[in-house]
Amino acid sequence: MFTAPANNPTLKGTKMTLYQSTVGTYLQIIPSILRCFEKGRRFCSERGIDREDFVDASLSDDMLPLHFHIIALVHFSEGALNAAREGIIGGPDMTLKFNYDELENYLEQSLGRLTKLNPDDVNTLVEGEVVFEYNQMILPFSTEDFFCTYASPHFYFRASIVYAILRSKGVPLGIADYIGRVKTTPSSRFSAEIHQHTGDQYLEFLDQLAGPQVENL
């Protein structure tokens, strides 16, 4: 049923690129957050709730609101790639303020620009450096360390907070809404008669489950 050869010929010689580890994940998570927003819209419409009440919602009084986390999500994805080109980055723009529909549009526009990026152009950025400057703080990074230890952790944190805020407001979201469409690669480690499921089938499987067990899959 399952065999585990020393090497998977399908993956032999492959190496993860900067494009795959950045844009590849942005193109998975950002559409998921947009779907969460759409579910939030439907939830409010069905219950007669003003969706603008969600814009300034936060998980705690001492935490930043939903609208900031969307701005930060763009800052640490598309903005991080711009920083890799320019060699410098600051903090997210705290002066920006959008309503619910504008936040959705802001994220959609960023996603549209990300989809048009050329992988080779992104991959050429890997050998550079990025400096974070904010107030009196100066942090120098190699491009790899910038994405691996700074920008990407921020990106996932902001995405998870957006999900958590909407869920805390009652929007019916689950793990499938956050993870989105996973990308699978057929493996030679299984015999031919074994069916290997796709990312879409995984999402369908998660949607069919309910309760705490789904959080572990």
Span 107-122, pLDDT tens digits: 999 999 999 999 999 9
Number of domains in the chain: 2
* Residue-level pLDDT at 209: 63
On whether both 100 and 137 belong to a single domain, the answer is: yes
Provide mean pLDDT across the span 123-136.
93
On whether both 31 and 80 belong to a single domain, the answer is: yes
User: What band does 202 get if pLDDT is binned at 50, 70 and 90?
Assistant: confident
Q: Which residues contact 42 (CB under 8 A, 6 or more apart)?
A: none
Last residue of a domain, one of 140, 156, 173: 173
pLDDT one-digit tens code per residue, 150-199: 999 999 999 999 999 999 999 999 888 998 888 777 777 776 666 667 77
* Residue-level pLDDT at 193: 62
Cβ atoms of 40 and 139 closer than 8 Å: no
On whether both 57 and 152 belong to a single domain, the answer is: yes
- Taking the C-alpha atoms of residue 74 and residue 79, their distance in angstroms, rounded to an integer, is 6
Give me the CATH number covering residue 73. 1.20.120.450
* Residue-level pLDDT at 14: 60
Is the per-residue pLDDT at 91 higher than 60? yes
* Residue-level pLDDT at 165: 98
In a domain, 7, yes or no: no
On whether both 122 and 203 belong to a single domain, the answer is: no
In a domain, 3, yes or no: no
Helix/strand/coil percent split, the chain, to 5: 55, 5, 35
* Residue-level pLDDT at 60: 95
In a domain, 5, yes or no: no
On whether both 209 and 139 belong to a single domain, the answer is: no
On whether both 97 and 195 belong to a single domain, the answer is: no
Cβ atoms of 120 and 18 closer than 8 Å: no
Provide mean pLDDT across the span 38-56.
96
In a domain, 66, yes or no: yes
- 85 versus 174: the higher-pLDDT residue is 85
On whether both 196 and 93 belong to a single domain, the answer is: no
In a domain, 13, yes or no: no
Residue 192 structural domain = 181-217
In a domain, 105, yes or no: yes
pTM value is 0.84
In a domain, 10, yes or no: no
Helix (H) or strand (E) holding 82: helix 78-86
Is the per-residue pLDDT at 210 higher than 80? no
Is the per-residue pLDDT at 6 higher than 90? no
In a domain, 8, yes or no: no
